[in-house]
Amino acid sequence: MSKGITSRSEDYSQWYNDLVIKADLAENSAVRGCMVIKPYGYAIWERMQAILDKRFKETGHSNAYFPLFIPKSFFSKEASHVEGFATECAVVTHYRLKNDGSGNIVVDEEAKLEEELIVRPTSETIIWNTYKGWIESYRDLPILVNQWANVVRWEMRTRLFLRTAEFLWQEGHTAHATSEEAIAEAEQMLEVYADFAENTLAVPVVRGRKTENERFAGALDTFCIEALMQDGKALQAGTSHFLGQNFAKAFDVKFTSKEGKQEYVWATSWGVSTRLMGALIMAHSDDQGLVLPPKLAPIQVVIVPIYKTDEEKANIDGFVKNLQKELSGKDISVKYDDRDTQRPGFKFAEWELKGVPVRVAVGARDMQNGTVELARRDKQTKETVAQEDLANTIEVLLEDIQQHIYQKAIDFRASHTTEVNSYEEFKQVIEGKGGFVSCHWDGTVETEKRVKEETKATIRCIPLDAKEEEGVCIFTGKPSSRRVLFAKAY
């Protein structure tokens, strides 16, 4: 099959788009900025959901569901929140269509809503309005709730998975009796995300804190995980917010403490979205197609028979049936691609494009020799191995692939993280090989904005593990006590 994928070196952005389309992950829909997530792409997202959901539950959270619509007035109750989202809201104004008499379907102007409804861009306001009814005393706390939902932000420039008008995500919203407890929750969920990114997505991340300028609208503190893509640009892969008492005050949510006092409730929210699909694709894939870490691959092993006669095929079938059973017993997902409409070479290319981690090819001679050809997608290597104990061989190989993909991403990040001490150096790196640039910054929003204007690089985060270190801001020369990470970003 002809893959028709632009190479990364030629045009990284086009490579990404080609890959998403050709690997059947997603496509643009007829609705501006909204995507269709195709079955193969959705299967990967479902695996992400299942693993994250399990971790949320293990950390004491329950799922619930809140309305898609938010009354406009709710939205305005938290000042910085409305400011952050007002410019990208889909607004419902009517609730009926009608036939205009000449056969055209038009909006029925008589069915105008008294108050416009916003399609949720995030749910803090509707949820805190609900929590008001759930919380009376400290006994009702903490509330540890998560929601899997669709949200809409009317972005003007969209890209499949990375930035779409509608996207899928989860949003955790928790309520606590103390500031300390809420901060601990926000930090805990950041670690859940970081662990998921590293051990499931095989994407190493920097755990950090956003600057004031990059904080979530309504948060006192935003924690984030930042990943590095192969083009040297950073991608924010998840955020966890300490919201203080901002939403409790906006919606008047108080509780009676153990000491009998009325106090405002402390909040967090945290989320990851289908954007993770973009991170996954861009972190590992190559010019031949997707490279999926085994833990997320909907198909972990594909088996392709190579034969000339029906007898040869029947012989191979018997072997494969057994192998499939053994692999399934190990919870390894396997597909036997015995379509007779395509040649082996076509199949090899197709599964390579779709990022299946392991390919087993087995032909008539293999059957005589008691061997198969085992190919790994990540290194694009293949070897002849024994049929005996093959399921175990594959199990070990899948673990090795997961590790190798992760290590490769760690190595890439290491070679694309640069410490600089002058603005000259800074610009050289940012405009050159890119990646994370670690440097001193004077802590002001003004400097951050100036640097962004001049270089398009933003402060991705103040790493949580950053050491105290005397230094001077590369831009203003003012004193600084800690390095931050700059990068161009998605």
- Report how far residue 350's alpha carbon sits from residue 290's, in angstroms, rounded to the nearest whole number: 10
Specify the residue, 258 or 467, whose C-beta has the smaller distance to its own copies. Answer: 258
- Report how far residue 445's alpha carbon sits from residue 221's, in angstroms, rounded to the nearest whole number: 15
The span of 83-91, 170-178, 238-246, 366-374 binding its own copies (CB under 8 A) equals 83-91
Q: Does 119 bind its own copies (CB under 8 A)?
A: yes
Specify the residue, 45 or 307, whose C-beta has the smaller distance to its own copies. Answer: 45
Long-range pairs of 152-157 with CB within 8 A, sequence gap ≥ 24 = 152/89, 152/90, 152/119, 152/120, 152/121, 153/85, 153/88, 153/89, 153/121, 154/33, 154/88, 154/89, 154/90, 155/33, 155/88
Q: Shortest gap between Cβ of 102 and its own copies (angstroms)? A: 13
Task: Give the three-class secondary structure for 458.
Answer: strand
Binding mask 333-372 for its own copies (x = CB under 8 A): --------x-------------------------------
Q: Shortest gap between Cβ of 77 and its own copies (angstroms)? A: 10
- Amino acid at position 464, single letter: L
Q: Shortest gap between Cβ of 75 and its own copies (angstroms)? A: 7
Residues in 155-194 at the binding interface with its own copies, rule: CB under 8 A: 166, 168
Q: For residue 294, which phi and psi values (nearest 5 degrees)?
A: -50, -35
Specify the residue, 77 or 210, whose C-beta has the smaller distance to its own copies. Answer: 77
Judge contact between 18 and 7, C-beta under 8 A: no
What burial letters (b/e) apply to 322-359, b meaning 16+ CB within 10 Å? ebbebbeeeebbbebbeeeeeeeeebbbbbbbbbbbbb
Specify the residue, 93 or 422, whose C-beta has the smaller distance to its own copies. Answer: 93
Q: Shortest gap between Cβ of 172 and its own copies (angstroms)? A: 12
Query: Which position among 5, 52, 152, 358 is part of the footprint of its own copies (CB under 8 A)?
Result: 152
Q: Shortest gap between Cβ of 49 and its own copies (angstroms)? A: 10
Residues in 15-54 at the binding interface with its own copies, rule: CB under 8 A: 27, 29-31, 34-39, 42-43, 45-46
Query: Which position among 7, 11, 14, 94 is part of the footprint of its own copies (CB under 8 A)?
Result: 94
Per DSSP bridges, beta strands 97-99 and 221-228 are unpaired
Q: Does 137 bind its own copies (CB under 8 A)?
A: no
Strands (E), 307-357: 334-336
Specify the residue, 156 or 386, whose C-beta has the smaller distance to its own copies. Answer: 156
171 Cβ neighbours under 8 A, 6+ residues apart: 122, 123, 146, 147, 149, 151, 269, 270, 271
Specify the residue, 168 or 461, whose C-beta has the smaller distance to its own copies. Answer: 168
Please count the residues of this chain forming the interface with its own copies, following the rule CB under 8 A: 63
Query: Which position among 13, 14, 60, 88 is part of the footprint of its own copies (CB under 8 A)?
Result: 88
Specify the residue, 106 or 414, whose C-beta has the smaller distance to its own copies. Answer: 106
Specify the residue, 112 or 365, whose C-beta has the smaller distance to its own copies. Answer: 112
Residues in 384-403 at the binding interface with its own copies, rule: CB under 8 A: none
To the nearest 10°, the Cα dihedral for 137, 140, 146, 150? -50
CB neighbourhood size of 204 (10 A): 21
Q: Shortest gap between Cβ of 59 and its own copies (angstroms)? A: 14
Specify the residue, 205 or 281, whose C-beta has the smaller distance to its own copies. Answer: 281
Q: In the numeric block, which tokens belong to residue 38?
A: 């195709």
Residue for token pair 């916003």: 118
Residues in 99-118 at the binding interface with its own copies, rule: CB under 8 A: 99, 104-105, 107, 116-118
Give the H/E segment covering residue 171: strand 166-176
Query: Which position among 82, 367, 401, 487 is part of the footprint of its own copies (CB under 8 A)?
Result: 82
Residues in 49-78 at the binding interface with its own copies, rule: CB under 8 A: 62-72, 74-76
- Amino acid at position 461, single letter: C
Q: In the numeric block, which tokens belong to residue 17?
A: 């788009």
| CA distance between the termini of the chain | 32
- Residue 106 burial by Cβ neighbours in a 10 Å radius (0-12, 13-18, 19+): exposed
Sort residue 422 into left (φ over 0), alpha (ψ -120 to 50) or beta: beta
Q: Does 407 bind its own copies (CB under 8 A)?
A: no
Binding mask 246-265 for its own copies (x = CB under 8 A): --------------------
- Report how far residue 490's alpha carbon sits from residue 234's, in angstroms, rounded to the nearest whole number: 6
Judge contact between 162 and 233, C-beta under 8 A: no
Specify the residue, 46 or 180, whose C-beta has the smaller distance to its own copies. Answer: 46
Q: Shortest gap between Cβ of 303 and its own copies (angstroms)? A: 19
Which residues would be at the binding site for its own copies (CB under 8 A)? 27, 29-31, 34-39, 42-43, 45-46, 62-72, 74-76, 82, 86-99, 104-105, 107, 116-119, 126, 129-130, 133, 139, 145, 149-150, 152, 154, 166, 168, 341
